[in-house]
């Protein structure tokens, strides 16, 4: 069937001719016994049952008519090109409809944005600058590049500027009142409100500089007080030391409080050193505990296996292991150490040396190279930025 469709597609006229011939032959085969006999002899068919030949002829005729004649006629008459053209036309129509819908949606969207622009302009004209800015930002988010939104924002900016410039005398009076009452933080808030226009008023500029200097002074004093408190009350808390040092290091040498900050930093350094020593000692204690436990495990295992051994630890940090058995020998030591797992495990937990001995004459020593346990405190403090001395 597939080969007939290919033939009809590539050589439609030949396919039509072949289809007519096979279909005609099928009709004659079914209608005339003389034709049936000749066809059966030609194909050497000896099947006695007539209905088998009839059924085969009907199937062959239908196959030839559909796949060769009908499809060949469809191709020859330009049906495939027509189908392609029809499909292309439908695709173009769908694209055109989608484009029109997109244009309609965009027009609706722009109309809504234009309406919001008009509302924003009206709000700005009434002095409702906050509402106008909110609407303009919404337009800018929904439709980036809309000229009306930028215009409204500029209008809002100009309006606010005019308001603040007009309010500068009142704002300056408010700043001075807060300064006179020692309310430096409140004065700083007002200075922040008018910071874009302070340069246009000499008095306001001078007063805001005084406010800024006083706020900085208070901030620095607070850092120094906190550093002193940490050194007195939380000297054993690395996180508190790190936080206090993070602020204290911001004090510049040119500031009057720098000597006091330097003293506070020295107090923090004492805490840092003590903490580093304590952490280092803690690391060593943990490692020594692991070595003690491992030595006990080795002794118990070997006793259970029938070896009358004695396992002891030596050295300041218990990093030397001695395994004593009166019948120890080179062959037995080789059995213990040949795969390297025993020595590797001992090295991992900090053992410097392992000695196998009979207690009298023979001993076999293995020097190991574990990672150094010195500086464990510095490593522990590195994550907080306290691995280096605190110094100003």
Residue of 137, 136, 185, 130 whose CA lies nearest to 163: 130
Distance between CA 364 and CA 343 in Å, rounded? Answer: 13
Structural domain includes residue 351? yes
Structural domain includes residue 390? no
Domain boundary among 50, 77, 104: 77
Residue of 171, 178, 236, 248 whose CA lies nearest to 211: 178
Q: What is the pLDDT of residue 54?
A: 65
Q: What is the pLDDT of residue 78?
A: 59
Q: What is the pLDDT of residue 213?
A: 86
Q: Tell me the sheet residues that pair with 321.
A: 313, 354
Residue of 81, 46, 68 whose CA lies nearest to 2: 68
> What tokens were used for 60?
């062959």
Structural domain includes residue 21? yes
Contact 318, 293 (CB under 8 A): no
Structural domain includes residue 68? yes
What is the domain extent for residue 334?
Answer: 283-377
Structural domain includes residue 129? no
Q: Tens of pLDDT along the chain (392 residues)? A: 555 555 545 656 565 576 666 666 566 666 676 666 666 666 666 655 665 556 766 666 666 566 555 555 655 665 555 555 556 667 777 787 778 788 777 777 777 767 767 776 776 666 666 666 676 677 677 766 666 666 666 666 666 666 666 667 777 788 788 888 888 888 888 878 777 666 666 777 788 888 888 888 889 999 999 999 999 999 989 999 999 999 999 999 998 899 999 999 999 999 999 998 888 888 889 999 999 999 999 999 989 988 899 999 999 999 999 999 998 888 888 988 888 899 999 999 999 999 999 888 899 999 999 988 877 788 888 888 888 999 98
Structural domain includes residue 63? yes
Structural domain includes residue 293? yes
Structural domain includes residue 156? no
pLDDT tens sequence across 151-175: 666 666 666 666 666 667 777 788 7
Contact 303, 309 (CB under 8 A): yes
Count how many domains the chain has. Answer: 2
Domain boundary among 59, 77, 95: 77
Domain boundary among 45, 77, 109: 77
Q: What is the pLDDT of residue 8?
A: 47
């Amino acid at each position: 069937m597939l080969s007939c469709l290919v033939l009809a597609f590539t050589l439609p006229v030949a396919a039509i001719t072949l289809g007519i011939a096979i279909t005609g032959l099928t009709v004659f085969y079914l209608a005339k016994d003389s034709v049936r006999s000749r066809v059966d002899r030609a194909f050497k068919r000896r099947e006695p049952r007539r209905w088998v030949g009839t059924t085969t002829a009907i199937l062959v005729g239908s196959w030839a008519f559909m796949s060769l004649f009908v499809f060949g006629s469809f191709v020859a008459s330009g049906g495939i090109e027509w189908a392609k053209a029809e499909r292309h036309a439908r695709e173009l129509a769908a694209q055109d409809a989608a484009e029109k819908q997109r244009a309609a949606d965009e027009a609706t969207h722009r109309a809504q944005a234009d309406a919001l622009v008009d509302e924003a302009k009206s709000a700005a004209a009434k002095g409702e600058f906050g509402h106008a800015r909110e609407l303009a930002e919404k337009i800018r988010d929904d439709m980036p590049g809309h000229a009306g939104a930028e215009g409204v924002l500029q209008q809002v900016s100009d309006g606010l500027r005019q308001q603040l410039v007009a309010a500068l005398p009142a704002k300056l009076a408010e700043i001075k009142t807060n300064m006179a009452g020692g309310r430096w933080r409140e004065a700083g808030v007002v200075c922040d409100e008018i910071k874009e226009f302070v340069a246009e008023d000499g008095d306001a500029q001078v007063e805001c500089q005084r406010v800024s200097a006083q706020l900085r002074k208070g901030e620095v004093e607070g850092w120094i007080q906190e550093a002193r408190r940490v050194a007195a009350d939380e000297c054993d808390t690395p996180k508190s030391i790190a936080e206090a040092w993070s602020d204290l290091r911001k004090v510049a040498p040119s500031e009057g409080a720098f000597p006091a900050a330097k003293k506070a930093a020295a107090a923090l350094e004492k805490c840092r050193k003590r903490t580093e020593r304590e952490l280092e000692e803690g690391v060593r204690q943990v490692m020594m505990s692991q070595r003690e436990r491992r030595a006990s495990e080795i002794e118990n295992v070997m006793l259970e296996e029938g070896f009358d051994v004695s396992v002891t630890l030596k050295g300041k940090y218990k990093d030397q292991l001695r395994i004593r058995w009166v019948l120890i020998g080179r062959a037995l030591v080789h059995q213990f150490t040949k795969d390297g797992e025993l020595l590797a495990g001992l090295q991992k937990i900090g053992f410097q040396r392992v000695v196998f001995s009979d207690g009298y004459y023979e001993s076999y020593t293995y020097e190991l190279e574990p990672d150094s346990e010195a500086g464990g405190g510095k490593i522990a403090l590195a994550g907080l930025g306290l691995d280096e001395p605190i110094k100003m």
